[in-house]
Structure 1
Amino acid sequence: MKNAVIVFSRNGMGHAPVELQSKLAKKFLRLTIESGNLPGKILFYTEGVKLACSGSEALEELQELEAKGVELVLCLTCLDFFRLTDQVKVGVVGGMGDILTAIQMADHVISV
């Protein structure tokens, strides 16, 4: 799955109460790690950037994925909009150009 990209555009997964969305994202990331079938990149934009910032339930999983070589890319415009630039705990801050390039180069794009 190295040529796959996962996209988080929400602060969690699905259309549910915020607490459930967060729990689902954490579980999805944990199961991804346990599967050993890791994506090349995980992209975060709009509210998805919140998953990589202070207070996120998914920080442990994201740090583990990054340590295993998965590139985590966060949208700078989105971080600025939510005033979270100084709260990033994992990943690299990039621009929409970085996100677009990652999507264009991927064999598979999975939006969760």
Structure 2
Amino acid sequence: MENKVILVLSDRLGRGDQQLGEGILETFFTLLKQKEKKPKAIFCMNRGVFTMTDESLISVHLKELESQGVEVLACKTCADYYGVTEKLSAGKISSMDKFIELSSQYEVLTLS
């Protein structure tokens, strides 16, 4: 995992039931934070920015990953679009330029 950037495109994993998708995504991050090797960064785009707010249980896991040295970043355009810029409880606002930089250096694992 240490040579990867995780791209989070939604506040749930998969296209089925919303509660199921949210639960699966939460399980992913619960297990990820327990692993010895962590990703370089987690970059949230589109509805993925909601995972960085207190409205999502996933924000707790993102805060823990951040405290373990993982960069947790939100697409500024997306956060502004959804009106969550001031509501982020985990991570920080970043730019598409930063994502391009990260993706040119690390393998991208996309969660959607």
**Both proteins in one fold, TM over 0.5:** yes
Distance in 2 (CA, whole Å) between partners of 1:17 and 1:72 is 26
Partner residue of 2:69? Answer: 69
Q: Deviations over 1:31-88 (max 9, x none)?
A: 1112222101011000101100121111111111000000011001001100111111
Partner residue of 1:17? Answer: 17
Task: Give 5+ residue unaligned stretches, structure 1.
Answer: none
Distance in 1 (CA, whole Å) between partners of 2:16 and 2:38 is 26
Give secondary structure in 2 for the equivalent of 1:14.
coil
Give secondary structure in 1 for the equivalent of 2:80.
helix
Partner residue of 2:4? Answer: 4
Give the length in aligned residue pairs. Answer: 111
Distance in 1 (CA, whole Å) between partners of 2:20 and 2:104 is 31
**Deviation, structure 1 residue 3:** 1.9
For normalisation by structure 1, the TM-score amounts to 0.93
Distance in 1 (CA, whole Å) between partners of 2:56 and 2:109 is 21
Question: Is the Cα contact below 8 Å between 1:23 and 1:57 reproduced in 2?
Answer: no
Task: Give 5+ residue unaligned stretches, structure 2.
Answer: none
The range that moved more, 40-49 or 15-24, is: 15-24
Partner residue of 2:51? Answer: 51
- Tell me which stretches of 4 or more aligned residues in structure 1 moved more than 2 Å: none
Distance in 2 (CA, whole Å) between partners of 1:80 and 1:92 is 13
Give secondary structure in 2 for the equivalent of 1:99.
helix
